[in-house]
Amino acid sequence: MALSRLSSSSTSTIKSNLIKPISTIFTLNRSISSDTTLSIETSIPFTAHNCTPPSTTVTTTPNELLNFFHTMSLMRRMEIAADSLYKSKLIRGFCHLYDGQEAVAVGMEASTTKKDCIITAYRDHCTFLGRGGTLLEVYSELMGRVDGCSKGKGGSMHFYKKDSGFFGGHGIVGAQVPLGCGLAFGQKYLKNESVTFALYGDGAANQGQLFEALNIAALWDLPAILVCENNHYGMGTAEWRAAKSPAYYKRGDYVPGLKVDGMDVLAVKQAVKFAKEHALQSGPIILELDTYRYHGHSMSDPGSTYRTRDEISGVRQERDPIERVKKLLLSHDIATEKELKDTEKEVRKEVDEAIAKAKESPVPKPSDLFTNVYVKGYGVEAFGADRKEVRATLP
């Protein structure tokens, strides 16, 4: 990244919308204040379709960069620990990890508010954390405990936090996109000046329902932003084998699109800000975020049969999103190597404590199987092992 420093200005400080303030172990270098405005060039220029791309110069602050480092490190450690819990059989069923893609979740939060909605597929742990979820809720849900965000009944693929505008992980490939356009319809109807981000992978980009939803979103100028998290492999299939045109940002044809380096948190921040402004003024837009997952598609996939280990290690060495922020912090004398290592130790401690608490959380009662099926006051509730007792709750 090309770096340059601008003058300090408290009025132009950009505040982060991340899940918590930076750890107190950070002590800013005396030569730079926390509200100094920095100007940083994105690693790769934006590529636009039917629109003028945003500036490649992104403004940030030391405080925001420290937040980025802490939050992405927390997400990385959270997912690595989930890997170990799955292998220990404390997490069952499906489990899709996000390590490598942290810049997407964190960059999005830097340019959105909780009034904006996010809906995604089943690789959803870090998106939930970015929306304000806690580690305890994450691990309790993964292990099927009542303290989970979905009370232990949704598991890895069905995280949810409506009060922060997170409408879940969805297991049916591509099905979250029309739901996201529906959320955007509600936002336009209510005139609340917010937008919806519907996230999907390159594997879902060929789904017919995606194009149907985009068509009506364009007809009605809905504030919908379709975000293709292109990690280049839909399950075990490389994008070039599945898509005649893997330029996903152009797939909307009549809808503008933007291709973004999804491993650069500042580029994501800039692109999301641009897309939100566009969606509020002119309707839908597509973002293609060029990212990469380090794990396989799910825990049952070793992730090394359809790609080489050299490819994975090459991305880690050249494009890792956390290392990029770390280099910025060091080059601007915002933090020292020791301080960053101390942060990583603190993150590991946070994760370990959350796992210990989650293990103490009880599993749901068998009777909980029949709750949260119908809206209260409507439908029929059936309960009991033999289902002999049925209680009608229709008004």
- What pLDDT digit, counting tens, does each position of 158-170 carry? 999 999 999 999 9
Q: Decide if 27 is inside a domain.
A: no
Among the residues of 220-336, which ranges form H helices? 239-242, 265-282, 309-319, 321-331
Question: Looking at the chain, how many residues does it have?
Answer: 395
| Res 68: pLDDT | 98
Output the domain CATH number for residue 116: 3.40.50.970
Residues 206 and 230 in one domain: yes
Q: What are the tens digits of pLDDT across the range 98-154?
A: 999 999 999 999 999 999 999 999 999 999 999 999 999 999 999 999 999 999 999
The helix/strand/coil state of 40 is strand
Residues 377 and 297 in one domain: no
Residues 329 and 371 in one domain: no
How far, in Å, CA of 276 to CA of 350, rounded? 33
| Res 381: pLDDT | 55
Confidence of residue 214 (pLDDT cuts 50, 70, 90): very high
| Token duo for residue 156 | 């890895």
How far, in Å, CA of 41 to CA of 78, rounded? 29
Confidence of residue 284 (pLDDT cuts 50, 70, 90): very high
| φ/ψ of residue 84, rounded to 5 | -65, -40
Residues 356 and 377 in one domain: no
Q: Decide if 26 is inside a domain.
A: no
Residues 149 and 139 in one domain: yes
How far, in Å, CA of 35 to CA of 66, rounded? 12
Q: Decide if 158 is inside a domain.
A: yes
Q: Decide if 301 is inside a domain.
A: yes
| Res 18: pLDDT | 33
Number of compact structural domains in the chain: 2
Q: Of all helices (H) and strands (E), which one includes residue 258?
A: strand 257-261
Tell how far CA 391 is from the center of its chain: 40
Residues 286 and 322 in one domain: yes
Residues 290 and 385 in one domain: no
Residues 101 and 78 in one domain: yes
Residues 323 and 376 in one domain: no
Q: Decide if 146 is inside a domain.
A: yes
Angle between helical axes of 321-331 and 62-87 (0-180°, round to 10): 150
Residue 313, C-beta contacts closer than 8 angstroms, at least 6 positions apart: none
Residues 238 and 379 in one domain: no
Task: Judge whether 7 and 38 are in contact, CB under 8 Å.
Answer: no
Task: Give percent helix, percent strand, percent coil of the chain, each to the nearest 5.
Answer: 40, 15, 45
Q: Decide if 386 is inside a domain.
A: yes
Q: What's this model's pTM, rounded to 2 decimal places? A: 0.88
Mean pLDDT to the nearest integer, 262-290: 98
For residue 4, the cross-strand partners are 39
What mean pLDDT is reported for the chain?
90
For strands 237-238 and 233-234, give the pairing.
antiparallel
Residues 348 and 375 in one domain: no
Domain of residue 129 covers 38-364
Residues 78 and 157 in one domain: yes
Angle between helical axes of 176-190 and 208-219 (0-180°, round to 10): 10
Q: Decide if 120 is inside a domain.
A: yes
How far, in Å, CA of 22 to CA of 73, rounded? 12
Residue 34 has pLDDT above 90, yes or no: no
DSSP annotation of 161 reads: B
Residue 298, C-beta contacts closer than 8 angstroms, at least 6 positions apart: 94, 95, 96
Q: Decide if 61 is inside a domain.
A: yes
